[in-house]
């Protein structure tokens, strides 16, 4: 039994988000914090992720697969090449470079098609969502195999998104596409759709289209194919967000009743134009 843990990265600055926020239905702290606003800071992020990976025991044979969506920045390429085939407690690091389109989900499709004959299960996560709790592979596999007709075990959780003018049925998915699936299920999706879902080359690479055609579709197509999407039990947390971890901030998966109510009140108030104007003014200050 062998697991591939796939992370797609790219050496581009990201939008700064100071704290992890609530989103989805049911609500959870899934809109994660991030502060990687330069190419150099992404190298720092990858060093942090790799250090956490070296320290943990995933519970079974697990290789870390790093897919670089190549922007041509040689310093970043050189750094990743230095960690290729570095040994971990239960596996090695493997680095691959590809053309930069489809973001994380293009990288996932690339990794699966290239490596599907070598692994029994695939864990997918973002470069700034760190899965480093001991047993993170074996726990996921155990839940997957105990769930009848399982398609994906969502490490953050399963919910639906209300934006993008899509129906609830069209947005049922795993947050961030973070979690574990089997090679058998993933092969079924590839055979049916031609690939794992992502924004294809030549199609729109705008954020909304990346989310609709990548993050949502990635597991929604499993759901629509008759496979079950299941969340890790509420009392279990196998991930943390990198920027929170770097600052020693602990973030829960789900809010208290008060936090959820406060969040909904803010959404209602923000519909008023005067509140939006005041909020934008405050942010500029």
Least confident of 34-43, 153-162, 245-254: 153-162
From residue 30, give the alpha-carbon distance in Å to each of 50, 130, 174, 236, 245: 22, 13, 11, 15, 15
Specify whether 83 is located in the same domain as 98. yes
The pLDDT tens digits of the residues spanning 273-285 come to 786 777 677 777 7
Number of domains in the chain: 2
CATH of the domain at 139: 3.90.550.10
- CA–CA gap between residue 276 and residue 284 (Å, rounded): 12
Q: What is the pLDDT of residue 41?
A: 97
Where are the strands (E) in the chain, listed by range?
Answer: 3-9, 21-23, 28-31, 62-70, 93-99, 121-126, 129-131, 150-154, 158-159, 173-174, 179-182, 228-231, 239-241
The pLDDT tens digits of the residues spanning 145-156 come to 999 999 999 999
Per the structure, the complete domain to which residue 264 belongs is given by 256-285
Specify whether 134 is located in the same domain as 40. yes
What pTM does this model have? 0.92
Specify whether 122 is located in the same domain as 13. yes
Specify whether 61 is located in the same domain as 154. yes
Specify whether 264 is located in the same domain as 246. no
Specify whether 191 is located in the same domain as 265. no
The pLDDT tens digits of the residues spanning 96-129 come to 999 999 999 999 999 999 999 999 999 999 999 9
Specify whether 113 is located in the same domain as 245. yes
Specify whether 159 is located in the same domain as 285. no
Specify whether 269 is located in the same domain as 129. no
Region 194-217 average pLDDT: 88
Specify whether 250 is located in the same domain as 265. no
Instruction: With beta carbons less than 8 A apart as the criterion, state whether 108 and 218 touch.
Output: yes
**What phi, psi does 105 have (nearest 5°)?**
-80, -30
Of residues 276 and 25, the one with the higher pLDDT is 25
């Amino acid at each position: 039994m062998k697991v591939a843990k796939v992370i797609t990265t790219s050496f581009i600055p990201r939008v700064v988000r100071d704290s992890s926020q609530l989103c989805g239905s049911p609500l959870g702290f899934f809109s994660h914090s991030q502060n990687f606003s330069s190419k150099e800071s992404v190298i720092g992020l990858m060093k942090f992720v790799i250090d956490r990976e070296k320290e943990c025991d995933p519970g079974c044979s697990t290789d870390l697969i790093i897919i670089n969506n190549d922007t041509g920045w040689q310093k970043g390429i050189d750094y990743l090449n230095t960690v290729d085939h570095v040994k971990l407690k239960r596996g090695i690091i493997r680095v691959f470079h590809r053309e930069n389109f489809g973001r994380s989900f293009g990288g996932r499709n690339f990794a699966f098609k290239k490596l599907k004959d070598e692994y029994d299960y695939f864990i997918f996560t973002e470069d700034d969502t760190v899965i480093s709790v001991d047993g993170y592979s074996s726990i996921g596999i155990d839940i997957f195999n105990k769930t009848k007709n399982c398609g994906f075990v969502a490490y953050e959780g399963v919910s639906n998104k209300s934006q993008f003018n899509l129906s609830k049925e069209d947005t049922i998915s795993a947050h961030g596409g973070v979690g574990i699936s089997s090679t058998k299920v993933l092969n079924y999706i590839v055979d049916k759709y031609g690939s794992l879902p992502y924004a294809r080359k030549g199609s729109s690479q705008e954020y909304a289209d990346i989310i609709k055609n990548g993050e949502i579709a990635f597991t929604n197509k499993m759901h629509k194919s008759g496979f079950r999407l299941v969340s890790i039990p509420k009392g279990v947390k196998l991930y943390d967000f990198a920027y929170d971890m770097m600052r020693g901030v602990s973030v829960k998966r789900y809010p208290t009743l008060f936090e959820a109510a406060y969040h909904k009140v803010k959404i209602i108030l923000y519909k008023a134009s005067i509140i939006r104007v005041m909020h934008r003014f405050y942010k500029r200050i």
